[in-house]
A and B are shown apart, each in its own frame.
Chain A
Amino acid sequence: MNIFDSLFLYIYLMPSGLYKRLGINIVHLRAILMAKLTMDNRRPAAFQQMRHSKEKKELNKATLKTMLASFFMGLLFLFAFGIGHDLTTKLTLFFSMFIFMLAATLITDFTSVLIDIRDNLIILPKPVNDSTFLTARLLHIAIHVNKMALPMAFPAMIAVILISGFWTLIPFLFFLLLATMVSIFLINAVYILILKITTPSKFQSIISYIQIGFAILIYGGYQLVPRIMENSVMKDISISSVQYIRFFPPFWFAEACNSLSCFTFGPNAWISTGLAVFVPLGSIYLVMKYFAPAFNQKLGLINSSTVESNKIIKKKQGFNPAYSRIEKLATMLTKDRREYMGFVFAWKMMGRSREFKLKVYPAFGYVIVLLAMLLLKSGSQLFSDFADMTSKGKSLFLMILYFSSFILITAIAQLSYSDKSKAGWIFLTAPLVNPGNVIVGAVKAAMIQFYTPVILIFTIAGTLIVGPGILPNLLLGCFNVLSICSLIAYFNLRELPFSVATSEAAKGRTVIRSMITLIIPAAFGFFQWLIFDYLWIVAIFATLSIIATWMVLGSIRNLGWERLGSYSRNNAQGPN
């Protein structure tokens, strides 16, 4: 527990007289909330889940970190106050971002707050009455939401005071509370929707896709917002003139807040104020009355084994053509049974492990966002730059080509990690002569899964825009990326696939090392820029690059046990 938790707990336990009259046991309530808040503090929260989950054990300040991250997100919202000439416009923008971001942030870790399945076996067998348990759950949710919403809105509070005077803060805070309710309603609506269209067992993976999309969105936001700010037209917009804006909830909050702050109410403002107050209250009533009981029931099924096992049986009966295709591909691309096994195993694990997707898929988004930035910057004659391959077109083409290696580099870097790493004993007990056989299979699987789509897009787009003349350079670029990635795999991937605990991921990968990793593609790109127009030289180097890829993969195949990190670790510890 930190000072904020203690403060929230103190505030929420203040009406203890009222709680007692409702039959709530204050001692139990406090004990449950304290335990829950302590656990939250040690749980990696939404923002950290992406990058820092390796620190899981040491993460003692999760609450403070989350609050700080929310605060920085809140700073981003300040740009709303630089747009438009009236307060309603500024606030409409602010409330839209606030509601959306709060909902998006909460949606990813709301399940663990909303329902912790362990409660069923730990708290429910204890002599705790239902209303105490329910209240503990509700207050826990309230505190959790507060910890996100308050720091997120804090910069805006200061801005509101500076722009419109101290008294505006009071209606602003009031509507902030109501906007928070709308966010909670949105989350619940999304949850219900997901549960309607799919099974509870798929729920978690859909939530992680939302998480991935969210990470990309934040990244894009940080890239885009400063650019929009540069555009001076935005400063004079008035949102009230936009048609249909009256149907947009953030506008109600903004107009109501504006009217209350200057005490001028037109008929429209009355309608907005009424909607701004009653719609959130109505929606939160819906959540409490209908939504919450529905998922408590459905989410309870997430962990129930009976539902799962029935399904598995059904699946196995049907023949799945996709697998046989992968297996055919693996047979073509691998040298022996062990390599084949590594390929198929890694392919399936990459496609199914939520943790792996969560770490690697955002890389696609980052690449797309960065490409969009590059293209936006380069202006309007972009197309002709590419078609004629001017020197600008050349450098852009090479930047895109080499930057795409980021996806494969991220995938290869994650290839050894898994939260089910202990299952990796199968490789250690099996009579493998060279673990390199399995590793090279896995690397090939990563290449096919994460780089062939990129190659395909480049080939099609390149031939359409520039013409077939681009193909030798494309070939050289793609194989350079592949040989760079094989080299990185050779030097960094000293573990069997999916066999190292994620908590180990921090060790040995320093910032400098990953920076150097990104310099290599840049250097190759520069080199190709020098020889770009000499097609014969390009063709020669492309051949060399293919041979290099093939040879490096061969070296990975020959990696012996003594080169593996796990091998030296086990021997250092002695027999265990």
Chain B
Amino acid sequence: MDPIISIQNLCKFFGSKQVLNQISFDIMPGQVIGYIGPNGAGKSTTVKILCGLLSDYSGQVFIKGKDIRENPVESKRLIGFVPEIAELYDVLTPSEFLGLIGALYDLSPETVSERADRMLDAFGLAGNKDQRMDTFSKGMKQKVLITSGLLHNPDIIILDEPLSGLDANSVIIVKELISKMADSGKTIFYCSHMMDIVEKVSDRIILINEGVVVADGSFEELKQKQGDSSLEQIFAHLTATTSLSEASDKLMNAFEN
């Protein structure tokens, strides 16, 4: 089977600062990738390159065998992207916003409204679809955003912290949705800081630190290699520069005279 996403020797500089350093990995169809790393490790930059938002990098990125730089529009068609911060035009209503997104993916208005209705209904937003989103809570906006990313039934779904602001029930819905989509052959690229969820949903975890891949494998493999019991511990073990308990000790000592 050919990889659906293939990244080779990816390097990226912002000015003189190197954000990504020789990143290479292949992703097979149907895999759920947990892409994790500390703040500033280069996660968002990787995502932006995969979504075709940044093109001044060195190395190569292929989506379904095609170079993303040469076919940006075709590659974007295969990807559904749910950005991290609830970035949407919030003076629009969900119907209007999803109508815009649907048109950009060349879906017919009928398909858009049918799918949007069903998905919003599943998220419990059926009654809000004609209200302006500037009155929505963070969780409601996030649900609209997830809907907008899945609307065109993409093969690859890139989720950047998709559960932020969602209530516990919605978290369960999205978690199950992720595994069902993977079962139906879709590839999920999941970026998050919530280690317990990454541990559960992903069948492969890629950990990057300072622009370099420091671990790559299933949770079981990582556990065997590192000898730690949870992903949280593995993460701390591989990325923390100073002792974390020392840091919390310092915090406690701040109260003393």
Contacts and interface: CB of A to CB of B under 8 A. Distances in A.
Contact of B53 (A28, A43, A125): A125
B51 interface: yes
Report whether over half of chain A's contact residues are helix, strand or loop; otherwise say mixed: helix
A127 B76 contact: yes
A311 interface: no
A129 B76 CA distance: 10
Interface residues of A, number: 24
B134 A38 contact: no
Contacts of A57: 132, 134-135
Given A27-B106, A127-B105, A39 B91 contact: yes
Contacts of A38: 91-92, 96
A528 to B, nearest CB: 49
Contact of B87 (A32, A118, A128): A118
A42 B104 contact: no
Contact of B88 (A34, A43, A118): A118
A124 interface: yes
A76 B51 CA distance: 51
A306 B15 CA distance: 12
Q: Specify which of A27, A118, A126, A128 lies most central, judged by the most chain B CB atoms within 10 Å of its CB.
A: A126
A121 B89 CA distance: 11
Most chain-B Cβ atoms within 10 A of its Cβ — which of A34, A43, A122?
Answer: A122
Contacts of B201: none
A118 B106 contact: no
A63 to B, nearest CB: 13
B33 interface: no
Contacts of A43: 91
Interface residues of B, number: 28
B130 to A, nearest CB: 13
Interface stretch (B77-85, B173-181, B245-253): B77-85
B52 interface: yes
B96 A123 contact: no
Contact of B104 (A31, A39, A118, A121): A31
B195 interface: no
B115 to A, nearest CB: 16
B92 A39 contact: yes
B101 interface: yes
A2 interface: no
Contacts of B213: none
A389 B204 CA distance: 89
Contacts, number: 67
A306 B89 CA distance: 24
B103 interface: yes
Contacts of B97: 35
B43 to A, nearest CB: 15
A120 interface: yes
Contact of B103 (A31, A118, A122, A125): A31
B55 to A, nearest CB: 11
B91 A42 contact: yes
Interface string A35-60: 10011001100000000000001000
A121 B81 CA distance: 9
A57 B104 CA distance: 27
Contacts of A28: 103-104
Nearest to B74: A127
Contacts of A127: 73-74, 76-77, 104-106
B212 interface: no
A28 B132 CA distance: 22
B51 A122 contact: no
Contact of A35 (B81, B92, B132, B134): B92
A125 B81 contact: yes
Contacts of A120: 53
B87 A35 contact: no
A121 B53 CA distance: 8
B96 A122 contact: no
A350 to B, nearest CB: 27
Contact of A121 (B74, B83, B99): B83
Contacts of B53: 120-121, 124-125
Interface in B80-139: 81, 83, 87-89, 91-92, 96-97, 99-101, 103-106, 132, 134-135
A367 B71 CA distance: 61
A122 B74 CA distance: 17
A118 B100 contact: no
Contacts of A31: 99-100, 103-104
A35 B89 contact: yes
B104 A128 contact: yes
A126 B105 contact: yes
B91 A125 contact: no
6 contacts: A35-B97, A122-B88, A125-B79, A127-B76, A127-B106, A129-B73
Interface of B: 14, 51-53, 73-74, 76-77, 79, 81, 83, 87-89, 91-92, 96-97, 99-101, 103-106, 132, 134-135
Given A124-B51, A125-B79, 16 more contacts: A27-B103, A27-B106, A28-B104, A35-B89, A39-B89, A42-B91, A57-B134, A57-B135, A118-B88, A118-B89, A120-B53, A122-B88, A123-B104, A125-B81, A126-B105, A128-B76
**9 A-B pairs closest in CB distance:** A31-B103, A126-B104, A127-B77, A127-B76, A42-B91, A35-B100, A125-B51, A121-B87, A125-B81
